[in-house]
Amino acid sequence: MRDWGIEQKWMSVLLPLLLLYNDPFFPLSFLVNSWFPGMLDDLFQSVFLCALLLFWLCVYHGIRVQGERKCLTFYFPKFFIVGLLWLACVTLGIWQT
């Protein structure tokens, strides 16, 4: 894993999230008459889409920077912006469910 590029490291995160994006608990909505399966679906969709946005932000900014990526100056602003979007997506999705 030390020799992996930034894209390969991100794919190890995005591929499991893609499985969750496909709503693996969909049959649970037929078995349980509750808000919980819909909330899980909204949560998984917003996590995947925000992780995908974070991936593209880091890749494109990484192409521009070409240097060392310090956590505080490189990743923190992106996590903050995407975290706010994630919080809004989860809140609106759960509220709609």
Crossing angle of helices 76-96 and 36-65, rounded to 10°:
160
**pLDDT band at residue 91 under the 50/70/90 scheme:** very high
The residues, any chain, with a CB within 8 Å of residue 43's CB and separated by 6 or more, are: 90, 93, 94
Q: What is the pLDDT of residue 43?
A: 93
Query: What's the start-to-end Cα distance of the chain, in Å?
Result: 39
**pLDDT band at residue 11 under the 50/70/90 scheme:** very high
Q: Is the pLDDT of residue 69 over 80?
A: no
Q: Which residue has the tokens 């949560």?
A: 43
What value does the mean pLDDT of the chain take?
Answer: 89
Q: Is the pLDDT of residue 1 over 80?
A: no
Q: Cα(86)–Cα(27) distance, rounded to whole angstroms?
A: 25
Q: Cα(78)–Cα(55) distance, rounded to whole angstroms?
A: 10
Three-class DSSP category at 88? helix
Within 10 A of 53 (CB to CB), how many other CB atoms are there? 15
**Tens of pLDDT along 32-64?**
998 889 899 999 999 999 999 999 998 888 888
Specify the pTM: 0.85
pLDDT: which is higher, 4 or 86: 86
Three-class DSSP category at 34? coil
Q: Is the pLDDT of residue 68 over 80?
A: no
